[in-house]
Structure 1
């Protein structure tokens, strides 16, 4: 189904609005939007809000270039904000479409502000891993993707909610407990101590995977005690991940068949006896190769686990097990909220 918010207009009718008529995202009272009429310049007009990460990408992804592209395709910029700015005005009046230009951190943070708002989001991937865009098969440059919006369809997307010693948090990618979470915490702590960071996408992925491999050989296993949809879950594992999409972190496809719109989560486990297989998998990925992850995957809607002090991550945010909230419960609860978001998929992405 084409995007319902796309509004064609007719130049011969003086009451119909054109992009140039819109001031600060608002139409003058004398003008109206005209539906069902052909467009003079064959483009479609939407009020869009732009959220972008100014530190990601190159000149192709600069704020100025993105705004120019949006206007060149006939859209009107209702609001614009950088990743670390106040978005409250944007969330209150997002317009017809929220455009998120950035990596997984930016996409996740912005999308979670739009849960159950029934306003579609459009992703322009420009990060390191781009796991969310990969899961939705969104690829290509901003000009190509923006050009596909008039014939795009809305795709429902699930989100997850995790409650534990860290409090309550929504997530887009996944929640991880154990090895992967510890690796993320180590990398965060290393980044906070030094100004020198990998300069390219490839070098950052290589650093992240190398850190994960280094920890995997001697990482103490977690002793699971919990349930998935009421079914018992036990044993010794290096990690457990509740996945809404296939990959997390440096393109680690822990749940290759995860579908972010099926109303369920994929719970991936790496059991202790498969430690060597996991190290081989990480080594292959470090060398740029493809490999099948040595994970046991269980699909369901809810996970309940007793917490015994291990590290966790919620999307790209690491949380150390020694820092529980003051009123924390020694339990972890993870659930799915089906179809809480809508994502715009240009036609080229669906055929990829």
Structure 2
């Protein structure tokens, strides 16, 4: 099996070298071609003919690679070495499991549904999600430099808690598959992943595998509950409303921060459209994730 390894050497805490990854993959019987995420010519690298593409990096690297894959029928897999690893976590990838286990071996590819977001200035792929409110505000704030991946996650959660304590609920009007939904929320996120932000399980399913968006809404009345949940987010479901949709239209009324995957930008009032891309990619899931999807 010939694999193209697309690697971000600076992801996470940098405890993953090119040499170590190549040695471990070759021990699985693979022939490995290597491409660095820091190489400006990475789209040319992705054009190589291989059996599969392996992405060793965090969410930003995964989003970057998948958005530029020239062949959606060539499967890819993820070796999570970043901080939050929300896309990988939502698909069931764990670094230790995939590197020490039999994957990709006899793994069967599954459809991987990304989304598209259309703004006034154009359209782009969306792998994790987009939204307004507390999460976008927290991402826009400067945080202390972390020494470990765990510290990075905790810094992100503390930043979100600070934003939640300070932000005012904002009015949002949207159409979910043609049905009007409006209200005032502290956070309004449209997700394809079950996990988002600083590794938070905000949605009960991963739309990456079933072709649905999860619209996550946090009301003013749930502010204190959410602040408490952030202390132990894996202990139970978040105090949010989650609505499924395949097509979301949001009309913004004022200039505000918008999160798109792992970055934030300030936008003017406009119409924003999010939808599931009808042409899926193919992903080689870990055994555990495949069993859950059966």
Does TM-score exceed 0.5, indicating one fold?
yes
Alignment of 1:231-310 (within 5 A): 231-285=179-233, 290-307=235-252, 308-310=254-256
**2:17 equivalent to 1:62:** yes
TM-score (norm 1): 0.76
1:133 aligns with 2:73: no
Query: CA 1:115–1:279 in structure 2 vs 1: closer, same or farther (change >3 Å)?
Result: farther
Aligned-partner Cα distance in 2 for 1:149–1:298: 33
Q: Trace 1:160-175 onto structure 2 (pairs within 5 A).
A: 160-165=115-120, 167-175=122-130
Helix, strand or coil at the partner of 1:273: helix
Q: 1:52 touches 1:101 (CA, 8 Å); kept in 2?
A: yes
The alignment status of 1:108 with 2:70, answered yes or no, reads no
TM-score (ref. length: structure 2):
0.90
Q: 2:5 aligns with which of 40, 46, 50?
A: 50
Does structure 2 conserve the Cα–Cα contact (< 8 Å) formed by 1:151 and 1:347?
no
Residue in structure 1 matched with residue 100 of structure 2 by the alignment: 144
Contact 1:115 1:341 in 2 (8 A): no
Distance in 1, Cα, partners of 2:22 & 2:180: 52
State the alpha-carbon separation in 1 of the partners of residues 23 and 147 from structure 2. Answer: 27
Structure 1 residue aligned with 2:114? 159
Deviation, structure 1 residue 252? 1.6
CA distance in 2: counterparts of 1:233 and 1:284, whole angstroms: 30
What is the alpha-carbon distance in structure 2 between the residues aligned to residue 272 and residue 179 of structure 1?
Answer: 12
> For the residues of structure 2 that align with 1:75 and 1:162, how far apart are their CA atoms?
36
CA shift for structure 1 position 318: 1.3
Which segment is superposed worse, 236-245 or 333-342? 333-342
Residues 116 and 230 from structure 1, CA distance in 2 versus in 1: closer, same or farther, beyond 3 angstroms?
farther
Deviation, structure 1 residue 226: 2.0
Q: Which runs of 4+ in 1 moved over 4 A?
A: 57-60
- Choose from 333, 339, 342 the match for 2:273: 333
Q: Deviations over 1:170-209 (max 9, x none)?
A: 11111121211111111xxx26xxxx61010111111111
Contact 1:116 1:340 in 2 (8 A): no
Q: Where do 5+ consecutive residues of structure 1 fail to align? A: 1-45
Unpaired segments ≥5 residues, structure 2: none
Q: How many residues align?
A: 289
SS in 2 for 1:261: helix
The answer to whether the 8 A contact 1:81-1:87 is kept is yes
Residues 81 and 95 in structure 2, CA contact (< 8 A), matched pair in contact too: no
